Amino acid sequence: MRKLLLATTAIAFSVSASAPAFAEFNERNIRVSNGINADHPVGNGIDAMQKCLDEKSGGKLKLTAFWGGALGGDLQATQALRSGVQEAVVTSSSPLVGIEPALGVFDLPFLFANADEAYKVLDGEFGDMMNQKLEAVGLVNLAYWENGFRNLSNSVRPVTKWEDFEGMKVRVMQNNVFLDTFQNLGANATPMAFGEVFSALETKTIDAQENPYVTIDTSKFFEVQKYVTETNHAYTPFLFLFSKAIFDTYTPEEQAALRECAIVGRDVERQVIGDLNKKSLEKIKAAGLEVNVLSPEEQARIREKSMVVYEKHKTEIGADVVDGILVQLEEIRK
């Protein structure tokens, strides 16, 4: 009898040792707010993140996505996180500068020359430093996802150098950094609601607008424009933010799973949005638009001209933040 008991105990121990440690996971429904729609690449990222969480938690950690601002705008949702009444939000950095001014660094013009530079900065020490600032205001950033580069379309001329912006009426977001950027280049920067842009381009009320390729495609701006220039003048990331008040109540295993799976989702989302941008660019070319790419030399020249914008906004963003990102980019470009 004693031998049988010992054998049974040994088998039970062996099974428990080899099984996933799901005991450290609780049943949790994690609400994730998004301003975009479910067919955006963020949706692919959420799906990949959920699959990863299923494997790590035995299906106990569940993401419930709310699309199209169903839980409120990005800023409203982020404030709900800070209050501890909602779990998560995927949001662009731009709406949150009132909560953490340092995020304004991502609005600075011609900051990153390409996606590889952006990833090295965001996924490295600078990104970690920004994450610490976010935790100080009650937000845990699990990973930097992709919003993408903005590029210029217009109906006047190809833009190959900064002088080509002179006198061009460019629609921009209601954002002081964007306004200062295009005015500094000699353009007539015109804030305008997004829904008004197509008709304004069609009637020549404005000459140009700036958005990622996917937006230029899906909004059919190519129907009322002649030229597209890959300026890569602004790169704003999405942040996968979690309520620190709620996150701190989770077990270490749950926290680790969320961080690791957010990175899995990030990599999928970045790949999908990159592929979509390529497809949209091909569609724009097929529509007959003339497409050109700013040369690295001209990008560097415009970046140098744009330093007055950096200096103007350095105090509000934080001199340590602006100088820190420029130092890291200088090292990457060596």
Determine the structural domain holding residue 206 and report its residue range.
Answer: 151-234+279-333
Q: Kindly state whether residue 4 falls inside one of the protein's structural domains.
A: no
Mean pLDDT of the chain: 91
Q: Kindly state whether residue 21 falls inside one of the protein's structural domains.
A: no
Between CA 328 and CA 318 the distance in angstroms is: 16
Q: Kindly state whether residue 128 falls inside one of the protein's structural domains.
A: yes
- For residue 78, the one-letter residue type is T
CB atoms within 10 A of CB 287: 13
Same domain, 44 and 127: yes
Same domain, 221 and 72: no
DSSP string, 63-80: EEEE-TTTT--HHHHHHH
Same domain, 196 and 110: no
Q: Kindly state whether residue 98 falls inside one of the protein's structural domains.
A: yes
Between CA 174 and CA 180 the distance in angstroms is: 11
Same domain, 73 and 129: yes
pLDDT given at position 21: 58
pLDDT at 64 over 90: yes
Between CA 86 and CA 74 the distance in angstroms is: 12
Q: Kindly state whether residue 97 falls inside one of the protein's structural domains.
A: yes
pLDDT given at position 5: 45
Tens-place pLDDT, residues 142-171: 999 998 899 999 999 999 999 999 999 999
| 8-state DSSP, 163 | G
Confidence of residue 175 (pLDDT cuts 50, 70, 90): confident
Same domain, 229 and 245: no
**Mean pLDDT, residues 54-70:** 95
Least confident of 34-38, 108-112, 254-258, 280-284: 34-38
Higher pLDDT, 94 or 101: 101
- The number of distinct structural domains making up the chain is 2
Give the percent of the chain with pLDDT over 70.
Answer: 93
pLDDT given at position 6: 46
Contacts of 139 (CB under 8 A, 6+ apart): 78, 81, 82, 99, 100, 241, 242, 243, 244
pLDDT given at position 174: 79
What's this model's pTM, rounded to 2 decimal places?
A: 0.85
Tokens of 252: 């270490």
Please say whether the beta carbons of 86 and 243 come within 8 A: yes
Same domain, 294 and 191: yes
Same domain, 71 and 98: yes
Please say whether the beta carbons of 122 and 237 come within 8 A: yes
Same domain, 296 and 329: yes
Tokens of 88: 């998560």
Measuring CA to CA, which residue among 300, 331, 241 is closest to residue 111? 300
Same domain, 315 and 258: no
Same domain, 165 and 133: no
Q: Kindly state whether residue 22 falls inside one of the protein's structural domains.
A: no
Same domain, 42 and 137: yes
Q: Kindly state whether residue 261 falls inside one of the protein's structural domains.
A: yes
Between CA 268 and CA 145 the distance in angstroms is: 9
CATH number at residue 32: 3.40.190.170
Confidence of residue 79 (pLDDT cuts 50, 70, 90): very high
Q: Kindly state whether residue 14 falls inside one of the protein's structural domains.
A: no
Same domain, 86 and 182: no
Between CA 15 and CA 88 the distance in angstroms is: 35
